[in-house]
Amino acid sequence: MNHNSSAEGRMLPILPAEAETLPATSGVWLSSALPGPIPKERIATCQSCAMVKGAPENDTQSHGGQHAFRADLKCCTFSPMLSNFQVGAILADSSAISQHARQVVRDRIARRVGVSPLGITPLPGYSALYDLASSRVFGRSPDLRCEYYTSEILGGGCSIWNHRNSVCATWFCKHNRGKRGRDFWNAVRLFLHDAEESMALLCATRLGVGPQVLTALDERRDFRSTIAAQLDAPVASRGYAERWGEWVGREEEFFDQAWQVQSRTGYEDLLSAGGVRLSARLTDMNAAYQALLHNTIPRRIVTDGLSFRVVQTDIARIATYSPYDPLDVPKVLVDVLPFFAGGDIDDVRAHILADAGVELDDTILQKLLDYGILREVDEPRRASHE
């Protein structure tokens, strides 16, 4: 137990030997935006899904008390918004893996459904269904399966993996550092979302699509108006040609050109296109990155009341910042958590040792802090299952 290092920020000894694999474009942006590589999320194993392991395919309840995903869906019960340059990248990708995605994109363009100079939105109605149902059936309802998910890939998977958007690139069911990891990836998502939107606007305007593209942006931000417009009249007759201008009928060519514009546009131009808003996202993301790479044991710590259940004789499963990422700990640890009532950390540790015979080292404390089971006195309370 090293009390002297408590309360001082220090670099974690786990420098990222293996960096997270990101889509090509966002990987380039983040290598300019962050001072170093992002450590790989090792326990969110997409190839062999950690949320499916051991669960019967159609189990709609739980496995081992955890929320389980179906093996033929995993976390792909979400459908992404694709920006124009990402659509162009998909069409230009001749790999076998993206064949399914190319078909989906070409079909959408042919039917003119959810297609604008800014990119391709989820199908009409999908976003409304997702908003209503995903918190209950995420990972379990085939009705929410992503249109880019394909069973043609071994084990089922994403046909746009190298071109996936900000949401898909940053969502993990579990994080090496619990809530701290989730907070970091949320900051990355917000940065990438604004970067993608700024780049899509830049591509559209450089390709001569005028102010009408802003109407498409409004619709992209408000899926209700998109649904209403598409239910109300055939999309082809609803301002479609007006929105596309000289590119109508040549949408594939437009998306290809957008991909090329993006490829030629440097990081500094992206920042300038994103303006003050993107710069603020960049600052937040860098702060979250520093927090991810550092350990800090605060001097005064509290716990907000626990929800747990005993899963083996001596093991308790504690509810944490996420229903997908509970923490299994020795039961004796649960018994000593009420000692954390805001007193000086050295005194608290001494009391726990004297009264319960338990020695808490920095590693255990850091884990409980990372998962939001303990928090610094001044830190806001965590909402359960945010």
Long-range contacts formed by 233-240: CB under 8 A, 24+ apart: 235/111, 235/112, 235/113, 236/112, 239/215, 240/112
Instruction: Supply the minimum distance, in Å, between the C-beta of residue 32 and ligand SF4.
Output: 24
Select 120 or 365, whichever has its Cβ closest to ligand SF4.
120
Q: Does 149 bind ligand SF4 (CB under 6 A)?
A: yes
Instruction: Supply the minimum distance, in Å, between the C-beta of residue 157 and ligand SF4.
Output: 7
Contact 273, 202 (CB under 8 A): yes
Number of residues that bind ligand SF4 (CB under 6 A): 10
Q: Does 258 bind ligand SF4 (CB under 6 A)?
A: no
Select 81 or 207, whichever has its Cβ closest to ligand SF4.
81
Instruction: Supply the minimum distance, in Å, between the C-beta of residue 168 and ligand SF4.
Output: 3
Contact 44, 175 (CB under 8 A): yes
Instruction: Supply the minimum distance, in Å, between the C-beta of residue 158 and ligand SF4.
Output: 3
Nearest-angstrom CA–CA distance, 245 and 211: 11
DSSP helix/strand/coil, 165: coil
Q: Does 168 bind ligand SF4 (CB under 6 A)?
A: yes
Q: Does 51 bind ligand SF4 (CB under 6 A)?
A: no
Q: Does 120 bind ligand SF4 (CB under 6 A)?
A: no
Contact 2, 286 (CB under 8 A): no
Name the E strands within the chain. Answer: 10-11, 62-63, 66-67, 82-83, 115-116, 119-120, 149-150, 157-158, 294-295, 300-302, 308-312, 315-318, 327-330, 341-344, 375-376
Residues β-bridged to residue 7: none
Q: Does 164 bind ligand SF4 (CB under 6 A)?
A: yes
Map residues 73-102 to x or -, x wherever contact with ligand SF4 holds by CB under 6 A.
---x-x-x----------------------
First-to-last alpha carbon distance for the chain, in angstroms, is: 33
Select 133 or 334, whichever has its Cβ closest to ligand SF4.
133
Residue from 91, 158, 199, 209 touching ligand SF4 (CB under 6 A): that is: 158
Contact stretch for ligand SF4 (CB under 6 A) within 6-14, 122-130, 135-143, 160-168: 160-168
Residue 361 structure tokens:
């080292």
Backbone angles phi, psi at 376, to 5 degrees: -65, 145
| DSSP code of residue 142 | G
Query: Tell me, what amino acid is at 213?
Result: V
Select 98 or 257, whichever has its Cβ closest to ligand SF4.
98
Residue from 55, 68, 90, 146 touching ligand SF4 (CB under 6 A): that is: 146
Select 146 or 285, whichever has its Cβ closest to ligand SF4.
146
Q: Does 148 bind ligand SF4 (CB under 6 A)?
A: yes
DSSP helix/strand/coil, 260: helix
Select 80 or 114, whichever has its Cβ closest to ligand SF4.
80
Residues found near ligand SF4 in the complex (CB under 6 A) = 76, 78, 80, 146, 148-149, 158, 160, 164, 168
